[in-house]
Structure 1
Amino acid sequence: MFLALFFGLFVVAAGALAYFFFTNKGKKQVPIHNHDWKPDIVYLYQFPRSVNMPNVSPFCLKVETFLKANKIPYEVRPLLMGRSQYGLLPFIELNGEHIADSQIIIHRLTEHFKTKTLLIPRDEAIARTIDRMTDNHTFLLLCQFKTLSSGTNDFFSMTLSEAGAPKLFIPIFAYFFRRKAANRVTGSLGHFSTEDFKMFLKKDYDAYRDLLGDQKFLFGDEINAVDCTVFGTLATALYHPAASYAKDLLKEEYPTLVAYLDRIRDQVFGEEFEKH
């Protein structure tokens, strides 16, 4: 009886997750979650925080870093299964409006709260290039090394456990998360050898190191929006306890990048970065 019930739950959970992860979401209407909102308070909907960092999602961490760095008042609303109108996390609600996609969120926050932007058009163009490389290339390379090259589901299992997912279903969740990551990496970057992926990652790390030079942050002494993007992505490799080539390479060959990430972590989050 128990075995039949367990198998039934397994099949239902697997079917639900397969539908959730692999059906085409597209844009859809999402009702406002918080109807009792306060003016100019940002309600940030993202994955539950990790023990070792505010979020293991680079895109969620990017947005929260931007909010904190610019002292924008916000409240975190953790979600495990809920998603935005684009089927992703994070999303925010601001003055009763649903705003999705980390790039769009930061653009809208910059406009609404009139945060500092780069004054020189060339700097803004360089920042835009870095931002897109980080989200659309480095992020996928880190997915390759954090979650796929190991041959196990350890990264997702550890992350889901910390997020409070039911223990019974963690292996199922982890399997589907890993499968989705594999599809995204190969669909966006292509099929390459491990050595080629390592070369790609090293070139990205080289670019960040050379752009940073001896500056405190990428464009001087103040944190800019693009610093939040780079931090959100690289921090999820550096500070997550799971072993990976991406983390080892960063720590062993890029001390200036590690120091840069530590500066952002300490200045923006301080002791709040890790959950005590």
Structure 2
Amino acid sequence: MAPSLQVRDFKKDVVYLFQFPGNETASSMSPYCVKVEAFCRLHNLKFERRNTFSERGDNGLLPFIELNGVQICESQVILNRLAEHFGLKNYEDARAEGIGHSLERMIENHTLHLLRIDLNRTLPDLVKVIVKQRVPGFAVDAVSSLGASYMRKKTRGGVKDAIGQFTAEEYDKMLRNDMIQLQNVLGANQFLMGASPTRVDCLALAHIGHSYFRLPQSRSYIHELVDSAELSVFKQYLERTVKTIFGDNFNNKE
């Protein structure tokens, strides 16, 4: 059975992006939503953001897109389908494709899980930002506390299954090492694969940059890392990437 479409009077080749809303410092509270929007912006695709808490794709999740009357779910599948439909070139050549793909998988299969563990330290602050948009003021603190407790437990289990169970200090060391290796790959380049941003920069911004920019007042280990002298080159890279891809619209929550 085909999924029910949200946009029935769609325009040809316009990407309708259904995503969680953002705040004053991030275009969405979900890194996967940022990933899809960054990809659309990188390739100058025509898209419309549809901020929502209630709508879900056929897989029960956000983000999802609708393109020419077809619903597409799961961020990685979305990027692949967009590249195929619009004839986009993700990387310059086969070698770059191999390196870019390897970096993408490192970020989403390893670094991301370490960032999720780090997020647990400030999870109540993030949940409160989301809850404020959905419940009456008197219930915000209670709902935020329950939500953070549930999400923290779920995160720990997911990370344990993905990369193993370690101490907080060991997780931090692994995150620092991932960041250093990404900075080593960057070298003197403007972006991870050279002079221009590519698909992997969308992922780096969506997961690492988003973790840093999302709630700057709610600091955790990723802020300590990015703000350190050791990773000053990578911090400049994140700032350059968000400016190049989003311009002044990364904090646009509409």
Structure 1 length normalisation: TM-score? 0.83
Does structure 1 retain, via aligned residues, the 8 Å contact 2:18–2:65?
Answer: yes
Change (3 A) 1:50 1:29: farther
What does residue range 1-276 of structure 1 map to in structure 2 within 5 Å? 30-147=3-120, 149=121, 153-161=124-132, 164-167=133-136, 168=139, 169-239=143-213, 240-241=215-216, 242-252=218-228, 253-275=230-252
- Secondary structure of the residue aligned to 1:254 is helix
Structure 2 unmatched ranges of 5 or more = none
Q: What is residue 6 of structure 1 aligned with on the other side?
A: none
- Secondary structure of the residue aligned to 1:155 is helix
Does structure 2 retain, via aligned residues, the 8 Å contact 1:153–1:178?
Answer: no
Deviations 1:34-73 (A, max 9, x none): 1111110000011111221101311111110111111100
Structure 1 unmatched ranges of 5 or more = 1-27
Q: What is the alpha-carbon distance in structure 2 between the residues aligned to residue 34 and residue 174 of structure 1?
A: 33
Per-residue deviation at 1:31? Answer: 1.6
Residue identity (%): 32
Change (3 A) 1:193 1:248: same
Runs of 4+ displaced beyond 4 Å: none
Q: What is the alpha-carbon distance in structure 2 between the residues aligned to residue 188 and residue 139 of structure 1?
A: 10
Per-residue deviation at 1:269? Answer: 1.6
Per-residue deviation at 1:225? Answer: 0.8
Structure 2 length normalisation: TM-score? 0.89
Q: What is the alpha-carbon distance in structure 2 between the residues aligned to residue 41 and residue 249 of structure 1?
A: 38
Does structure 1 retain, via aligned residues, the 8 Å contact 2:35–2:75?
Answer: yes
- Secondary structure of the residue aligned to 1:98 is strand
Change (3 A) 1:160 1:178: farther
Does structure 2 retain, via aligned residues, the 8 Å contact 1:160–1:170?
Answer: yes
Does structure 1 retain, via aligned residues, the 8 Å contact 2:124–2:144?
Answer: no
Per-residue deviation at 1:257? Answer: 1.0
Per-residue deviation at 1:29? Answer: 5.8
Does structure 2 retain, via aligned residues, the 8 Å contact 1:66–1:228?
Answer: yes
- Secondary structure of the residue aligned to 2:192 is coil
Q: What is the alpha-carbon distance in structure 1 between the residues aligned to residue 201 and residue 100 of structure 2?
A: 9
